[in-house]
Amino acid sequence: MTQVDTSVNNTINPSPFPSFELLSNEDVPALGVNIAEYRHTQTGASHYHIASDNPENVFLVALRTVPKDSTGVAHILEHTALCGSEKYPVRDPFFMMIRRSLNSFMNAFTSSDWTAYPFASSNRKDFENLLQVYLDAVFFSRLHPLDFAQEGHRLEFKDSADANSDLEFKGVVFNEMKGAMSSVPSQLWHTLCKYLFPSTTYHYNSGGDPEAIPDLSYEQLKSFYKSHYHPSNAIFMTFGDIPAAEHQARFEELALHRFEALATHIAVGDEKRYHAPIKVQESYPLPPSEETDNKTHIVVAWLMGKSTELETQLEAQLLAGVLLDNSASPLLHALETSSLGSAPSPMCGLEDSMREMVFACGIEGSNVGSTDKVETLILDTLSKVAQNGIPKADVDAVLHQLELRQREIGGDGYPYGLQLILTALGSATHRGNPIELLNLDPALNAIRTKTESPEYIKQLAQNLLDNPHRVTLVMSPDQQIQTRIEQAEKARLDAAKEQLTDEQKQQIINQAAALAERQTMEEDESILPKVTLQDVPLDTPALLSDSAHFGSLPYTAYGRGTNGLVYQQLLVSLPELTDHERQLLSIYTLVITELGLGDHSYLQVQARQSQVCGGISAYTTMRGSTDNEQEIQAYLVLSSKALLRNASEQAQLMRDTFEKLRFDEHERLKELIAQLKGRRESAVTGNGHGLAMSAASANMSPVAKVNEELGGLLSIRKVKQLAKEIDNKASLAALADELAVIHKKMLSSNKQLLIIAEEHQLTELKTETGAIWQDFNASPASAFSLPSLRTVNKAFWLANSQVNFCAKAYPTVPSGHPDAPVLTVLAVYLRNGFLHRAIREQGGAYGGGASQDSNIAAFRFYSYRDPRLQETLNDFDESIRWMLDSPVSAQGLEEAILGVVSSIDKPGSPAGEAKQDYHSNIFGRTLVERRQFRQRVLAVSAEDLLRVCEHYFSNVEPSVAIVSNEAKAELLSEWIAQEGLTIQRL
């Protein structure tokens, strides 16, 4: 099959606005875009524009930020800059604009060496509104001292008006980083960088170390802003169908004309190189109740070449790929099968966004005494590659993966344009050539030519072995370190209090009062631009598809602009399962794409997958009925993507994966479960709010119950138990047999196929793949079902976290009920009007809000990385009282409706939108019903909000889930008992 030809829009005009000069201009046929680089002649600001016919326009302005300590100055500045500016002197223009916008993305990021402010919108008026606010926030920020106190850190008495009470640290970033640094992978990475980079900015934690954050002064923040937030240090990046000159005219008018060039040159310098490898040991906190055996992480990492040198970067990516791409890759295979640990380290891979790249590999679930053996295992594996090379087919497979990743049009997480911008940003930050990173075809072709020589990969591996800038990091568990950290913080606060004069005590009290007053102050939001309901598109557009059969297998095909990729999904109606089998579904979906097929081992299959497609995955998807959440519909989904030229092989691989799966590779099964255990445990602090909401609503419906069993806190506990149980061969064999039984039921269940590809290629594609899918179906099996479930659930989950995650859940209605859209709007109204202020601004949590989940018919409150617990649960209740006791704001209602509609209308990738449409239809969410839901959202009234709030929340006992730590549980033991919360351990 021929590869699709992607042409570039010939109407693109790269001519700049007069205050800018064009430096370079290049078509990228593989992406169907034109990329131009410009320079602002007066200040030297860079502008990169990716011209596309995509109406979702993206803007980003980035500043090179190079901190010289771990106080989090760049991170705190990122937060504080968004808290009011010269033109918009209100307390919180960023979050206010989220409510007054139809954006598809709004955020700000702090990386290790840059800070960026991106947004995206498909509405031109909205784009202009956001551009005005963002440019003013970045270049003319107020940096109010109370905003620094709120977002960064401050001292406050526990009883804010009582100078005799204990002092404590407060601040959004302070608590955010306490949560972030509760994650063991985060601690691993920052500790590794501390030693890999002894002299440059990467030595420090740019997000901020909670122990160092209180050292940052307001004056230091302002000084950092003055030196770093200047157009001479700025990189503007845009994507979409708005011409570059039009962007530049606005940049000039709104900001740039007020600046002269700044002489200061901000950049990351060259790192000092070690002349010999070093070995270091540090510790991470582990709760006293957990065993310390087999909990050590051992990582070996090298500092490699500069990321701005494209050939060097591609060679590093190629080497990382041949070593770690899949389980058949030599280094990953060695780490997975080693008895020295339980699984490969989460650090395995190449980090190429910093000025100098890092290659890391290692193992988790080990012991300190195995350090030398792990190091030897890694170095010996590299030596074998340096001596023997890699089969040419495996090298070609890695190049295939690089090509596939370059061609894929994303947009289902971040907007596609933002993905391209972020790909280029690192190189732009280091004054490289980011256009090269987006137009990879010439460089990839050059690398392909070099791989024709069998010595090429050998030499790359030898170069790594010969590199003396190597760090072996051993991170072992310490059950007392968290106690010592907390004691040190308390001692610091006690000492600070001892030194306070009466005047200073009063200043702390006055600041707390002033901040509280500022947080509750009603401000004139009318100075901010906004869109209104009149700017909302009238309806949801329809996607065209056709449905037919390949033999007895029904299929649905969508013609979409996929840039030469084919997406195929096989959906299997979930059969009737026992309780035990149902609880094993997450293990089943993990292993079915990771085991051998027929006569081929899993290693051969992994290599085949890499050669044929961009990976193959399996997962379950289930929803309640639109009119009854107690009725469940569920599918197993086998999903893959491939370049068009590989579509037939892709289809055959998917069919073989289902029909030829073998369960006799018991050691492989054990390895996979150990890897899953590690991933699930390390994800708690990153998704604690989601896990808390899942636990709180677990008894709301059958779907909620299964979601908790397969992806919630219960599933983490189940995987940990299972990893222990299969230590003996008999238990492992029994598990394999149970999975085989589940698979046999899947084989006999009904199936259907989804195909997404370029419209003009579909006819040929169906002919080629149809022959493979012929007669691939079965008679309908007994359908998956569960008894009705609607009970209260209250639990306090113990985790390794310095912060809390709180959730409350109330039973409501499914999506087909007229109240579902009202509740969806109510969630946004409560977040905007009460919860954001109470939980984030006043409470110091990183985030908090509410959501209506119509799939399980539950309304859920949540907080994220929260220093408080009982007070937050009280705030959830108080928000309901506030709603019922306060008049509904017409503006607040409109903003809540806009927020919901913006979420509904958010564009995805071409393939992602087709998948979403298809899955909605098979679950009974037809376009007619989706449009009806959207129209009901637009019609929500103040009376509707009050009615549903009264009906669903008044005199109703909620379910509650808290994710916290053992110390907090002990402190609150009496309250936990009074509230009827059960203590649950992971």
pTM attached to this predicted model? 0.93
- Could you tell me the CATH number of the domain that includes residue 834? 3.30.830.10
Cα separation of the two ends of the chain: 50
Supply the pLDDT for residue 804. 95
- The Cα 640–Cα 479 span in angstroms is 43
Supply the pLDDT for residue 406. 87
- The Cα 399–Cα 451 span in angstroms is 10
What is the number of structural domains in the chain? Answer: 2
Name the DSSP letter for residue 831: I
3-state secondary structure labels for all residues of 365-383: EECHHHHHHHHHHHHHHHH
**pLDDT (tens digit per residue) in 264-314:** 899 999 999 999 999 999 999 998 888 899 999 999 999 999 999 999 999
**pLDDT (tens digit per residue) in 953-967:** 999 999 999 999 999
Reduce the DSSP state of residue 783 to 3 states and report it: strand
**Taking the CB of residue 715, how many other CB atoms lie within 10 A of it?**
21
Q: Is residue 727 part of a domain?
A: no
User: What mean pLDDT comes out for the span 494-518?
Assistant: 95
Residue 92 has pLDDT above 90, yes or no: no
**Residue 312: which residues within 8 A CB-CB, separation 6 or more?**
304, 305, 306, 357
Stronger pLDDT, 702 or 8, i.e. the higher one? 702
Residue 6 has pLDDT above 50, yes or no: no
> Average model confidence (pLDDT) for the chain?
94
User: What mean pLDDT comes out for the span 73-82?
Assistant: 96
Percent of the chain, pLDDT > 90?
A: 90
Residue 592 has pLDDT above 80, yes or no: yes
Q: Is residue 348 part of a domain?
A: no
- The Cα 360–Cα 937 span in angstroms is 49
Supply the pLDDT for residue 138. 98
Supply the pLDDT for residue 413. 84
- The Cα 876–Cα 318 span in angstroms is 51
- The Cα 329–Cα 337 span in angstroms is 12
Q: Which of 579, 979, 630, 984 is nearest to 790 (CA)?
A: 630
Supply the pLDDT for residue 7. 41
Confidence band of 3 (pLDDT split at 50, 70, 90): very low
Q: Is residue 686 part of a domain?
A: no
User: What mean pLDDT comes out for the span 936-940?
Assistant: 97
Q: Which of 849, 943, 859, 948 is nearest to 899 (CA)?
A: 849
Which residue, of 527, 553, 588, is where some domain finishes?
Answer: 527
Q: Is residue 502 part of a domain?
A: no
**pLDDT (tens digit per residue) in 858-889:** 999 999 999 999 999 999 999 999 999 999 99
- The Cα 94–Cα 267 span in angstroms is 28
Confidence band of 1 (pLDDT split at 50, 70, 90): very low
β-strand 278-285 against 470-478: which pairing, if any?
parallel
Supply the pLDDT for residue 411. 81
Tell me the β-bridge partners of 962. Answer: 796, 806
Q: Is residue 786 part of a domain?
A: no
Tell me the β-bridge partners of 532. Answer: none
- The Cα 234–Cα 243 span in angstroms is 20
**pLDDT (tens digit per residue) in 775-805:** 887 666 678 989 999 999 999 999 999 999 9
User: What mean pLDDT comes out for the span 916-933?
Assistant: 96
Q: Please work out, in degrees rounded to the nearest 5, the angle formed at the alpha carbon of residue 600 by the alpha carbons of 595 and 605.
A: 55
- The Cα 59–Cα 63 span in angstroms is 14
Name the DSSP letter for residue 91: S
The answer to whether the CB of 328 falls within 8 A of the CB of 600 is no
Q: Is residue 240 part of a domain?
A: yes
User: What mean pLDDT comes out for the span 146-158?
Assistant: 95
Residue 221 has pLDDT above 70, yes or no: yes
**Taking the CB of residue 734, how many other CB atoms lie within 10 A of it?**
13
Confidence band of 824 (pLDDT split at 50, 70, 90): very high
Percent of the chain, pLDDT > 70?
A: 98
Which residue, of 499, 527, 555, is where some domain finishes?
Answer: 527
Q: Which residue has the tokens 């179906």?
A: 777
Residue 683 has pLDDT above 90, yes or no: no
- The Cα 301–Cα 375 span in angstroms is 10
| Domain membership of residue 133 as a residue range | 20-268+517-527
Q: Measured between alpha carbons, how far is residue 640 from residues 649, 773, 871 in Å?
A: 11, 15, 46
User: What mean pLDDT comes out for the span 564-569?
Assistant: 96
Supply the pLDDT for residue 845. 94
Reduce the DSSP state of residue 444 to 3 states and report it: helix
Q: Which of 155, 159, 148, 158 is nearest to 170 (CA)?
A: 155
Supply the pLDDT for residue 2. 36
Residue 213 tokens read as 């954050």
- The Cα 370–Cα 472 span in angstroms is 12
Q: Is residue 769 part of a domain?
A: no
**pLDDT (tens digit per residue) in 222-263:** 999 999 999 999 999 999 999 999 999 999 999 999 999 998
Q: Is residue 438 part of a domain?
A: no
Helix (H) / strand (E) containing 949: helix 942-953
Supply the pLDDT for residue 412. 84
- The Cα 823–Cα 853 span in angstroms is 9
- The Cα 13–Cα 807 span in angstroms is 52
Residue 942 has pLDDT above 70, yes or no: yes
The answer to whether the CB of 809 falls within 8 A of the CB of 859 is yes
Q: Measured between alpha carbons, how far is residue 772 from residues 469, 516, 545, 655, 780 in Å?
A: 51, 67, 21, 8, 21
Which residue, of 527, 562, 585, is where some domain finishes?
Answer: 527
List the alpha helices (DSSP H) in 748-818.
762-773
Sheet holding 632-643, edge to edge: 545-550, 553-559, 751-757, 565-573, 632-643, 616-624
User: What mean pLDDT comes out for the span 97-112?
Assistant: 94
Q: What is the DSSP string of 509-534?
A: HHHHHHHHHHHH----GGGS----GG
